[in-house]
Structure 1
């Protein structure tokens, strides 16, 4: 299995002097357990616990004192009590309220132990059973594989090295676009990436997608009432065709479900991290504030799942240019996925910008806070396209930086809005969307 970028974040956590127990967040099957298995090579001792196992849950029996719980865990792992380099990984922790409550004591009473916990649908489980101790744990978000991780899995080491250069050399552009087309098709779910890297057979990958969708549904349904399952299934099925659209809860997916039913279904699905609602902001100044009164868009977990469920894999696979079949909304979607995957903070969110006035509506695909500025990002599916909304944003802001994601080489344009304001436009290829922070640093410092 290829190494995940999260290992770097985990090592930073390991080396912190004020380290707290770590909650590893992320959707089912994004590779949390595998990442910890890789991470465990940096320890002398490893104890893996799965709270779906009754014997493992018994180690945290509420009748046991904290000291006895620790002794039981160490005995289970055949690890001496005085060991100084031991990691304890508690998987599916949502199945044990006692294990969750025990986390509050690890930081103060056993700082020599490295505690990592993970699970599926943690928030839903918390709502029902227990709560994580505030201020006594820290969090790390894991996403599906990034473009970098994808090309690493394919063995493209030279391209991986070139991506470290800012700006990327022009001679690497066409090869990167070809790899991006594959990434669009396959997505970033680790099992799908691993299967494709060894077989290059999309048919075999499709069975992975089907299994993933089934496991997501099973997971969500664990924490919902039986009568509510049909609403959840409808929302998930309908969501794939609503990508790129502003949605309304009432009658979502041409249904008769109420706004309340659809909203509650989305809340649970978001807790499973299968998809999220992204809301507009209306200000051009920090902080970015989501306007929950306005219609949101959808951001799904993975483009591979999206294309499989939408039935457009063949068109993407045989096309010479991704934009020929993906259209603006799908290109816009994967760009959002890639930007969002650059966030390791579970509370981080992604937004678009909207100005809704009579005869003067405007919408910018994404906005990104870089230091004290909000940078507008427009995503174009082809070589040309108007930037009317981006111009409105630039006219309203007090800086002169903007980004356009497309199929062109990296370049910086001296541009002018319709109203005559001069600004700098950074043109970036789609495949660099997840590198937005590094490129904004280069862009702003050099202009």
Structure 2
């Protein structure tokens, strides 16, 4: 299975200023597989250490963090010599031994010749809680579920993925039905590696649902096992409310939908926990359009999306026929699934700030406002071929952005101030000149 993150890992390996690398991401997005595959492709040897319930490693890192002593201990554990130039050291579930995280500072300062990558399914929480980790002494890489492009590649459509990269929209439009069919499949299957692999091999939608239910059950177990007891019920209620939150016309998160009379203060910790786990994307509202957009954030208003479109369709109980045949029952939820899909693709684009906009009266809402670092681009999402862009026009009249993007099932078209970008090509948003 091809992962775009592999390119970033290879670049990291060759970097002269290489630091120990921490891979962040939710459980089951493929972090362990990626690290091992990277070791196999780029190194002559890999030493893999899982810190979960590993008392020997806990003991090794418990005393002083002298790097020579640690390397000797790791060599004894692995049963072989560690060659700094040709061995990849993998620390998995590293949050289970916080001192192993702290040791990365000393590896960077005193033994930078060693190649170390780390990951952990609940690493985000450990870092947020102030686990002593070396600020400025490590690099980070975020891993998400497979993007639509990676899904095309995993399902034997590499040429179609390449075509999107080349942005040959004349050719793309000729084959648009292939993209539309693949997109409908992606709405159902999503990008969790196990679900994608199963679908690529067997094309069995029922088996995909079984896998997704198992993943969702594992997340629920994580709530009980790892979250503080007093917020577990709140996490559960909040997590289960997301499909109904997204099904609303206005997708702003409403605490009252979680529980009648609920207040922000009660649920802030639960949202932070889900966000630190990588299970939700919190997209904040902005009330302005200058750079950087972060300066215009309204922290009280936000939308919550889950990490994967396939998991959302599973949570909502969408059936394969409803989704793939365009059944009427699906109309209500189609906008929610489409917006979830777009959010997920935007999140995989590096160094992109993702927000949404509503004016103070609530009469104008733009689904996503993105900050590329150089320009602000409003993006309106339509589930069908809808040509209306009322909110975009209102936004443009007020803020005069260089360009606006409407993404829908319509073909690519560049008009005066508006780019119509097909939903299946939204991942290419930052790749072509938008001015």
Compute the TM-score of the two structures, normalised by the length of structure 2. 0.92
Change (3 A) 1:325 1:296: closer
Where 2:184 maps in the other structure, the secondary structure is helix
Residue 428 of structure 2 aligns with which residue? Answer: 435
Deviation at 1:223, TM superposition (A): 3.3
Equivalent residues, number: 426
Change (3 A) 1:217 1:248: same
Deviation at 1:139, TM superposition (A): 0.3
Deviation at 1:83, TM superposition (A): 4.0
**Is 1:328 matched with 2:335?**
yes
Residue 12 of structure 2 aligns with which residue? Answer: 13
Whole-angstrom distance in 1 between the partners of 2:284 and 2:373: 21
Deviation at 1:200, TM superposition (A): 1.0
Question: RMSD over aligned Cα, in angstroms?
Answer: 2.2
Compute the TM-score of the two structures, normalised by the length of structure 1. 0.90
Deviates more, 1:282-291 or 1:2-11: 282-291
Runs of 4 or more off by more than 6 Å in structure 1?
320-323
Whole-angstrom distance in 2 between the partners of 1:190 and 1:321: 30
**Is 1:28 matched with 2:27?**
yes
Deviation at 1:195, TM superposition (A): 0.9
Where 1:284 maps in the other structure, the secondary structure is coil
Whole-angstrom distance in 1 between the partners of 2:258 and 2:333: 21
Deviation at 1:320, TM superposition (A): 8.1
Deviation at 1:365, TM superposition (A): 0.7
Whole-angstrom distance in 1 between the partners of 2:198 and 2:83: 42
Residue 238 of structure 2 aligns with which residue? Answer: 235
Residue 118 of structure 2 aligns with which residue? Answer: 117
Residue 367 of structure 2 aligns with which residue? Answer: 365
Whole-angstrom distance in 2 between the partners of 1:322 and 1:150: 26
Deviations 1:191-226 (A, max 9, x none): 110111111111111121111112212223333222
Residue 89 of structure 1 aligns with which residue? Answer: 90
Contact 1:47 1:77 in 2 (8 A): yes
Whole-angstrom distance in 1 between the partners of 2:373 and 2:239: 36
**Is 1:210 matched with 2:203?**
no
Residue 130 of structure 1 aligns with which residue? Answer: 131
Whole-angstrom distance in 1 between the partners of 2:329 and 2:150: 20
Whole-angstrom distance in 2 between the partners of 1:108 and 1:208: 43
**Is 1:425 matched with 2:424?**
no
Contact 2:128 2:276 in 1 (8 A): no
Whole-angstrom distance in 2 between the partners of 1:10 and 1:334: 26
Change (3 A) 1:59 1:279: same
What stretches of structure 1 of length at least 5 have no aligned partner? 415-423
Residue 311 of structure 2 aligns with which residue? Answer: 305
**Is 1:353 matched with 2:357?**
yes
Residue 183 of structure 1 aligns with which residue? Answer: 186
Where 1:220 maps in the other structure, the secondary structure is helix
Deviations 1:98-133 (A, max 9, x none): 101101011122122111111122232235572221
| Aligned equivalent of 2:253, options 247, 261, 271 | 247
Deviates more, 1:75-84 or 1:268-277: 75-84
Deviation at 1:398, TM superposition (A): 4.1
Residue 290 of structure 2 aligns with which residue? Answer: 285
Residue 341 of structure 1 aligns with which residue? Answer: 348
Whole-angstrom distance in 1 between the partners of 2:80 and 2:136: 28
What stretches of structure 2 of length at least 5 have no aligned partner? none
Change (3 A) 1:322 1:195: farther
**Is 1:139 matched with 2:146?**
no
Residue 161 of structure 1 aligns with which residue? Answer: 162
Change (3 A) 1:325 1:178: farther
Whole-angstrom distance in 2 between the partners of 1:293 and 1:146: 28
Deviations 1:360-417 (A, max 9, x none): 7211111122453211111112222432221122122344311110111111013xxx
Whole-angstrom distance in 2 between the partners of 1:55 and 1:270: 31
Change (3 A) 1:259 1:325: closer
Deviation at 1:140, TM superposition (A): 0.5
